[in-house]
Amino acid sequence: MQKIKNIIFDYGNVIFEIDFKRTQDALLQLGITNSTEFFAHKSHHNLFNDFETAAITPAQFRVGIREAAGNNNLTDEEIDVAWNSLLIGVPPGIHDVLLKVKEKYRTFLLSNNNETHYNYIVDYLKREFNMPDNSGLFEKAYYSQHMFLRKPNVEIFEQVIRENNLNPAETLFIDDSPQHIEGAKLAGLNTLLMTKHPKELEQVLIEHQIL
């Protein structure tokens, strides 16, 4: 990793712990009987892609959930609670690790996100860490719903590279999704697949001679 000067971090299950099964179970409770296919780590219904690229609003997303559940009586709150149930939190000390990495490298965040999850996360960061958002941890934070693009599309990586004048050969992308890793490779980035719990981020960085 001696040539690496820039690092692009994914958020979910690299920094912020998430659990897809929680939302699969919650969607099942709402009446979506094929919830494990409807919403999964490696693939999911286009409803989620549209929400993560701001092609639809939170209200339209909820309509899609009601249609999938066959239940027009589901409340906004019931849907939002189910949708946010996968969001667990940032393990202790991880923000300090990111600040340590920022001292050595140019660092960026690139997250497939959506308005509902983003608002929940911002509230969580304010409540638990007295932070306004993630902006202080990175040179710049990118979210799919603000870019109208999502990983693994090569265009989202190329936009980050272009806007920050990054040399892909000197840039490392860290993500827990194999399909996102493949998209990053198409953009010429070095990649690292995160296979451990976010609480082990520092150890992973040490093992790969990043810290």
Predicted confidence (pLDDT) per residue in 104-142, tens digit: 999 999 999 999 999 999 999 999 999 999 999 999 999
What is the predicted pLDDT for the residue at 1? 62
Packing angle between helix 178-186 and helix 154-163, nearest 10 degrees? 60
Q: Measured between alpha carbons, how far apart are the two ends of the chain, in Å?
A: 10
pLDDT of the residue at 210? 95
Give the pLDDT confidence score for residue 32 in this predicted structure.
94
Residues 53, 136: contact at Cβ < 8 Å?
Answer: no
Give 27-75 pLDDT, tens digit per residue: 999 999 999 889 976 667 889 999 999 999 999 999 999 999 999 999 9
Task: Look at residue 154 and tell me whether its pLDDT is greater than 80.
Answer: yes
pTM, rounded to two decimals:
0.94
Q: What local confidence, expressed as pLDDT, does residue 44 receive?
A: 77
Tokens of 138: 């990175």
pLDDT at 81 (0 to 100): 97
Residue 2 predicted with pLDDT over 70: no
Contact (Cβ atoms closer than 8 angstroms) between residue 176 and residue 15:
no
Cβ neighbours around 36 below 10 Å, total: 14
Q: Count the residues in the chain.
A: 211
- For the record, the structure tokens of 94 come out as 């991880």
Give the pLDDT of residue 42: 64
